[in-house]
Amino acid sequence: MKSSNPFTDEFMRQEIKFMGLKKGQKPLTKMEGIEIRHVEVTMRCDDYLNKNWRAEPMVCPVFLIDGRLWMSLTPMEVESNYLAWTCSEGVVGMGGLGIGYTILRAANKKEVTQVIVFEEDMRVVNLFKSQYADRSELAKIEFVIGDARETMKDYIFDFVYMDIYPDMLSDEAFSDVELFRSQNKIKRYKFWGQEKVVLGALNEGMMDVLDIDRETQQYLSMWMRTKKSNMYDGYWGDLEEEVAILEEIQYA
């Protein structure tokens, strides 16, 4: 039986299987300075919402651009992108391709009719198309090459997810909320790391559970039911300003 709880080891294994990234290939794919390979992760390797120390090695696919680690399919990445694809429906806009996990997952949903991906590095797109050439999800995926802040204008989206940031919850993630929503018609908008802000605000009494959407409530509830929640890794950004930004986003 497939797990629907993103905070379990079973879910992590099934998502790597979904991506078809098998350990026998080293590197899995490499072209034009972009590559996907497996690395062994040991000792401290935090999850999305909590600290974590791993007694046994974990082998995870990683995505490198010109030798620099850009993304890895670790539990943190799988957990932090879970709501991005489970909330996707209709016409979806996604900023940043990376290893392609969130895009493939969204396109795999019957509720999603189209995924428009804004990616500035054509090499990343070429590798993705080569790696997943036989996937049926590609029929739903369209690529727009260039800086999303310049190319994502005058679109109508049912859902948008922005993950164009090398670091989670950078200042740009918050300023981009107003930018992208002012330049496009967007029903729902999320950005990478948003749930950490919500959880921090809930813990500080700055938000009530009734202020957040149903999916995020269920998501945090799944996390709370795991032992991981005992190792909560708090978020200490400028919550007052960031909560005000979150309150501008329309929740379904």
- pLDDT tens digits, 66-112: 888 777 788 999 999 999 999 999 999 999 998 899 999 999 999 99
Where in the chain does DSSP place strands (E)? 29-31, 34-44, 53-65, 68-72, 90-95, 112-119, 141-145, 156-162, 185-191
Q: Is the pLDDT of residue 2 over 70?
A: no
Domain ranges of the chain: 9-78
- Residue of 202, 244, 224, 207 whose CA lies nearest to 7: 224
Q: What percent of the chain has pLDDT over 90?
A: 60
Band the pLDDT of 47: cuts 50, 70, 90: very high
pLDDT at 41 over 80: no
> How does pLDDT run across 120-178, given as a tens digit for each residue?
999 999 989 988 999 999 999 999 999 999 999 999 999 999 999 988 988 899 999 99
Q: How many residues does the chain have?
A: 252
Lowest mean pLDDT among 9-13, 33-37, 138-142: 33-37
Identify the band that residue 28 occupies on the pLDDT scale cut at 50, 70 and 90.
low
Per-residue pLDDT, averaged over 11-36, amounts to: 77
pLDDT at 194 over 80: yes
Instruction: Name the least confident of 127-131, 164-168, 189-193, 237-241.
Output: 237-241
Decide: 117 and 91 in contact? Cβ < 8 Å: no
